[in-house]
Structure 1
């Protein structure tokens, strides 16, 4: 049963990393290459869509890692799992404090109501997102190492 939890948790976190990596290095680059302000409108739609899913994915991943840490507390990789959990908790805190506020504003923007600094705000979101990706990649790496 523990092995199933370990593998399932690793897959769930790995998929989350893949989605976030894709957003940063594929989807946003495609959107930013669109003419005029189309990219911001695409990001707003993506923010609404992924904004509804990602809180469950992040919290669910954190819960799965916590369950793994408790169930496998006496295993050789327990410290790695606990550290991965701490990194995932950091990613949730980063999301709530840094990324979600910008995303919530962006979801509401239209060509008529965007602030003058909308491009700078999206660039700021991107910078925070790159840091969050590094954090969740580190967590994923620790989980894979604990699994091995």
Structure 2
């Protein structure tokens, strides 16, 4: 049973890392290359769509790692699992304090009501997101290392 939990947890977090990596290095460059109104509308739509899914994914991943750490306590590599859990907790805290407030504003903007500094706010979100992606990649790497 522990083996199944380890595989499911690693796959769930690996897919999350892939999605977040794609947001940073694929989707955002595509959106940013569009004309102003399309860029802002695309970011707002992405904020609404992913803003609904990612909280469940992040919290669910943290729960899976916590269950793995408890169920596997005393086994080889558990320190790496705990490290991954700490990094995922950091990513959740970063999200709540830095990214979610910007996203909550962004997802309500339209070309008619967006603030003058909307691009600066999107750029700030992107910078925070790069750091968050690095944190969840480190968490994923810790989990993979715990498996071997």
TM-score, length of structure 1 as denominator length: 0.99
Structure 2: distance between partners of 1:81 and 1:43: 34
Residue deviations 1:110-141 (CA, integer Å, cap 9, x gap):
11111111110000000000000000000000
Aligned residues: 148
Match of 1:35?
35
**1:72-107: CA deviation from partner (whole Å, max 9, x where unpaired):** 111110000001000000000000000000000000
Unpaired segments of 5 or more residues in structure 1? none
Q: How far does residue 36 in structure 1 lie from its aligned partner after superposition?
A: 2.4
TM-score, normalised via structure 2 length:
0.99
Which residue number in structure 2 is paired with residue 59 of structure 1?
59
Cα displacement (A) at 1:39: 1.0
Which residue is equivalent to 1:127?
Answer: 127
Tell me, yes or no, if the aligned pair for 2:91 and 2:135 is still in contact at 8 Å.
yes
SS in 1 for 2:49: helix
Unpaired runs of 5+ residues, structure 2, are none
Contact 2:40/2:111 (<8 A) preserved: no
Specify the alignment match of 1:82 in structure 2: 82
Dislocated runs of 4+, deviation >2 Å: none
What secondary structure is seen at the aligned counterpart in 2 of 1:113? coil
Is 1:69 paired with 2:69? yes
Cα RMSD for the two superposed structures: 0.5
